[in-house]
Chains A and B, each alone.
Chain A
């Protein structure tokens, strides 16, 4: 099977509106969790989120373009543009004919939908905006990327809650590896800062009232984030032939379902997805030196994920560096897996493990080396990026450093 490499990455997130700023925040362990400003909901029981800052849509898109783009689709296009530019890809007709676009999103453009419903319910309007359907559809991100570049191969969107974009990248990886697509743009985007969505998360009682402290004994839940991340995937041979510089190799993908409970995760399901990703990579467990954890900061996830990592790695687990970058960019739901995939690629590229920020107190049930608060200089050979969704759906990606 051909080796598949990542030749471009793009990001817009709370901790940076491009890859350079994103990495700078990760490397310095700087979270971007603060008071929610994009919506005003006085009765909301949690004050904070990780919102994209200093983003003015009109500086990137024309008024005509914006009329067709919900915030989550804008994010998708911005991240894709940065990834494509970095990859330096030259679009040939053959490439455009069969390349793939696979995106993940949990909510799609539900913010646009809400704006229309608000008018119906509160102002007795009898109609909603004519573009409500295409603005809100979860595949809008994939469709806009495909249309912008003229990419006519397989294009679709996966919605598996918090694992959406990990599933999307994994599927794209398998398509490129199998030869069914000569190149792929894959990732995810999410824009969950709207009243109905925030109230729904409030009702789940899993959002922290201050900040996100993954694996820390005093953790009180997750903090929502927003943004997008996209990756350009292509065969190593093709990348080298056109003189591109691979950032890292994507080597494995594993999936599983807990088939157990809607919201309580099982260590065995998470462990199975990690094992499958390692098996798919053809690497030995001891070649993995870092796990970018799902690490949401909820009681349930962090102890379950710790148990799962121990099940998979056995005694090797104590040699692993682990961290949750959600402590800085928040939980961007359908974009989380893609943001963390980019964080993983950069970790391999830079030889620096980003920390778990906001960590204060060891928890005996989360007794891994979670790289508390300060980044660590460490060149690892390979890493895993974990994503586990409500509904018990698990997706794990494996990456290898490219020298």
Chain B
């Protein structure tokens, strides 16, 4: 079976924070991990890359622990699976500079 969302989130955080994955559980809070506002930005960036999703700024602000993050990502992954593949490709297209 493929790696669970929880384990992937823990792996991303453990790598970024250079700490053993075993020390992080679903109940661990960002406060316990000593994650400040800038660390949080980096974490959201890493998780967006890991799961190929976009995490909304306002929704991200209310997340305070690992389980809430896993729940949010699970919802985003479900929404992504429902979306048509061509829509995802479209979102990744880039335009040329206009100057």
Contacts and interface: CB of A to CB of B under 8 A. Distances in A.
B99 A38 contact: yes
A264 B40 CA distance: 13
A221 B58 CA distance: 11
Contacts of B99: 38-39, 71, 111, 115, 194
B98 A203 contact: no
B98 A122 contact: no
Interface string A186-230: 000000001100000001110001000000000011000000000
A131 interface: no
Contacts of B93: 42-43
A209 B58 CA distance: 10
Contacts of B85: none
A347 to B, nearest CB: 33
A262 B38 CA distance: 8
A204 B92 CA distance: 19
A309 B54 CA distance: 37
Interface residues of B, number: 20
A316 interface: no
Interface centre among A38, A205, A261, A300 (most CB of B within 10 A): A205
B97 A115 contact: yes
A45 B54 CA distance: 9
In this complex, the interface size class of chain A, counting residues with CB under 8 Å from chain B, is 20 to 34
Contact of B91 (A43, A122, A221): A43
Q: Is chain B's binding surface mostly helix, strand, loop or mixed?
A: helix
B37 A204 contact: no
A194 B97 contact: yes
B96 A118 contact: yes
A45 B59 CA distance: 14
A111 B98 CA distance: 10
B54 A195 contact: no
Interface in B1-55: 36-38, 41, 44-45, 54
A40 interface: yes
Interface string A40-57: 111101000000000000
A103 to B, nearest CB: 21
Contacts, number: 52
Nearest to B44: A205
Q: Is chain A's binding surface mostly helix, strand, loop or mixed?
A: loop
A43 B92 contact: yes
B62 interface: no
B44 A195 contact: no
Contacts of A263: 37-38
A41 B54 contact: no
A118 B49 CA distance: 23
A111 B97 CA distance: 9
Interface in B54-99: 54, 57-58, 60, 90-99
B13 to A, nearest CB: 18
Contacts of A264: 36-38
Contacts of B57: 45, 205, 209, 220-221
B36 A203 contact: no
A52 to B, nearest CB: 13
Contact of A39 (B58, B91, B98): B98
A114 interface: yes
B41 A42 contact: no
Nearest to A196: B97
A329 B45 CA distance: 30
Contacts of A209: 57
A118 B97 CA distance: 8
Contacts of A111: 99
A39 B41 contact: no
Nearest to A193: B99
B44 to A, nearest CB: 7
Contacts of A115: 97, 99
Contacts of B92: 43
Contact of A40 (B36, B41, B95): B95
Contacts of A262: 38
A264 B39 CA distance: 12
Interface of B: 36-38, 41, 44-45, 54, 57-58, 60, 90-99
Given A209-B57, A262-B38, 19 more contacts: A39-B97, A39-B98, A39-B99, A41-B95, A42-B90, A42-B95, A43-B91, A115-B97, A118-B96, A118-B97, A122-B96, A195-B94, A203-B41, A204-B41, A220-B58, A261-B38, A263-B37, A263-B38, A264-B38
